[in-house]
Amino acid sequence: MAGVVGAVVGRQLPALLISGAVIGFGAYGAFSVSDTWVQGDAVVGTYDQIVLGDKILDTLIRTPEGEYISWDVAYGRYGSQLDNINYDGTDNGSGIRVATRYVPGDRYPAAVVRLSSLLGGGGLAAVALTFIVVHRRRPY
């Protein structure tokens, strides 16, 4: 990416600063897209269902009716009843449990392939763009 920006800008320091910003935003965008894809692989369960190697994304509350809700909604509904819940996912008698949204470890290879493809594709696009821009600026 620094080659593309350097060929366009033509000055070293501005090219380094701009390319650093572009690379930073690109990496942030790639990870944001990847995290969105990972949300599609996530399942919801109680803490006793999580095994070593699973990636925990979020914690939720499981209501006595079996509905999974966010902590904000749970505090609005149950208020002080949440002060006495067990954080290990077991029931304390109220029927309210702490649950989690997680990605099982066996789904990681697909997530790794997606992220690697995303970052690799961005890198190849930057290399191709560098060749085009440098060739355009090269004097004959």
How many alpha carbons fall within 13 Å on the CB side of residue 38?
23
Question: Does the pLDDT of residue 5 top 70, yes or no?
Answer: no
pLDDT number for residue 1: 61
Q: Which two tokens stand for residue 125?
A: 């696009």
Confidence of residue 8 (pLDDT cuts 50, 70, 90): low
Those residues whose C-beta lies under 8 Å from the C-beta of residue 129, and which sit 6 or more positions away, are 4
Confidence bin at 84 (pLDDT 50/70/90) = confident
Tokens of 21: 């910003």
Choose among 93, 89, 81: nearest CA to 47: 89
**How big is the chain by its Cα radius of gyration, in Å?**
24
Per-residue pLDDT, averaged over 106-117, amounts to: 82
pTM over 0.85: no
What length is written for the chain?
140
Question: For residue 139, what pLDDT band results from cuts at 50, 70 and 90?
Answer: low
Q: Are 94 and 81 in contact (CB under 8 A)?
A: yes
Residue 10 has pLDDT above 80, yes or no: no
Query: Could you state, in order of their start, the residue ranges of all structural domains in the chain?
Result: 2-137
- Average of per-residue pLDDT values in the chain: 81
Mean pLDDT, residues 90-106: 82
